[in-house]
Structure 1
């Protein structure tokens, strides 16, 4: 079956509702698939926190957000930038922000999985790294999100051994991408 083409473009504030809905549906799907109980997947303030986060990212001078559209509907999103945590502190001491780009989030609408959208979003991240002359990329994936971990592995990402606590006793695993090999 042939699907209409996907267009990637910068996210704008008018995309916020679509991004929150997309993010909510994608995270619900992967946490549910990983066995996280429904009551722990979201909180009443979750959508508003996601909206605030996406708004900050879209308006940020240091972050890049691209939407994937099919028939004028947002079906995917990628957010990337320097490896920063809260405020401007590096997530890990010793991280060289001038050599590493972080893939903060990549989400595809669950009904659109397997149609190449994630690959296009990933390619946008690799272009971002190359245009910024960054040697490596990094991302975190919940260890029970087997679909995401397999996606990253297919695109050349490798675990680097760093873990941090996540929900349901499962950690977030950090993976790295060598740009020269991508």
Structure 2
């Protein structure tokens, strides 16, 4: 695991796209719902990850295997201005390429997020997950995340639910 750089953007987009496709299809969206014949979503993801890598408010890490990006983590300040950035760090995304699910990569990426909270003296982690992504919800639940009651609209009439994690005490 290492800090991601602009050189990693293509690999990051590939991991993001494959993981996203897998969990949305598992949640009931069709491949047609996710299709992007004009490749605009891919370009938007590429541009978004390039911005994230250059942002002073974001930390992006990648897990690699044999020189290939197989997992990604993005974290930083809360997206909402109503959330106190002095006490909360947001886990924006953890994605692992589906062919590598179940190999501990996601857990190692999560540990890196918890280290970020601890090192930044942030007592709380925040994330949102699509309510139909039961695999992710189970993963986060096992790691101590709890729903906080907040939601926002998501695709296909299903919400994103917000989860919180109490970080361990600072070292």
- Where 1:141 maps in the other structure, the secondary structure is strand
Instruction: Give 1:63's aligned residue.
Output: 58
Instruction: Give 1:156's aligned residue.
Output: 144
Could you list the runs of 5+ residues in structure 1 that have no partner in the other structure? 1-7
Instruction: Give 2:167's aligned residue.
Output: 179
Partner Cα distance (1:42, 1:134) in 2: 39
Cα RMSD after superposing both structures: 1.1
Equivalent of 1:110 in 76, 90, 98: 98
Instruction: Give 2:7's aligned residue.
Output: 14
Instruction: Give 1:51's aligned residue.
Output: 46
CA offsets, 1:133-168, max 9 Å, x none? 001001000000000000000000000000111001
Equivalent of 1:147 in 121, 135, 160: 135
Instruction: Give 1:75's aligned residue.
Output: 70
Q: TM-score, normalised by structure 1?
A: 0.89
- Where 2:110 maps in the other structure, the secondary structure is helix
Is 2:17 aligned against 1:24?
A: yes
Q: TM-score, normalised by structure 2?
A: 0.95
Could you list the runs of 5+ residues in structure 2 that have no partner in the other structure? none
Shift of 1:37: 1.8
Shift of 1:42: 4.3
Is 2:28 aligned against 1:40?
A: no
Paired residues in the alignment total 167
- Where 1:133 maps in the other structure, the secondary structure is coil
